Structure 1
């Protein structure tokens, strides 16, 4: 499946079926993230049930500490 992630077309493995799977694929599942799919912010409790489809536009924002 191909998703548009943060403005870039990215092919993801067939195992990626939900937002939770996508975050795990990018090793972001334990990070504080905001995820938007097709201009809709996805609540954290929906990550494991929100299915992704070919061509979906996904925006992922995660926070990085620094000083």
Structure 2
């Protein structure tokens, strides 16, 4: 079993076994191509979400885009 990380996501503490931002976004039932992510105070390029590793204590703000009209 994978070690659990403790993250702060949009101001709330969350435990996860995911290891990348893209995996976390999917765990939240969001599509990586439809989000903007701030990781520890810096904007994470959408093209690199699958490469950026998460660490215990990371802080993320995730905003998802919603279509409408």
Scaled to the shorter chain, the TM-score interval is 0.7 to 0.9
One of 6, 18, 25 as aligned partner of 1:2: 6
Please list, as runs of the form range in 1=range in 2, the aligned pairs for 1:23-34 lying within 5 A after superposition. Answer: 23-29=25-31, 32-34=34-36
The list of structure 1 runs, each at least 4 consecutive aligned residues, that deviate by more than 6 angstroms after superposition, is none
- Pairing 1:48-67 to 2, within 5 Å after superposition: 48-66=50-68
Q: TM-score, normalised by structure 1?
A: 0.85
Scaled by the length of structure 2, the TM-score of the pair is: 0.83
The Cα of 1:47 is off from its aligned counterpart by: 0.6
**Structure 2 runs not aligned, ≥5 long:** none
> Does 1 or 2 have the higher relative contact order (CA < 8 Å, sep 6+)?
1
Offset of 1:45 from its aligned partner?
A: 1.1
Q: How many equivalent residue pairs?
A: 65
The CA distance in 1 between the partners of 2:19 and 2:41, in whole Å, is 18
Q: Secondary structure at the match of 1:11?
A: strand
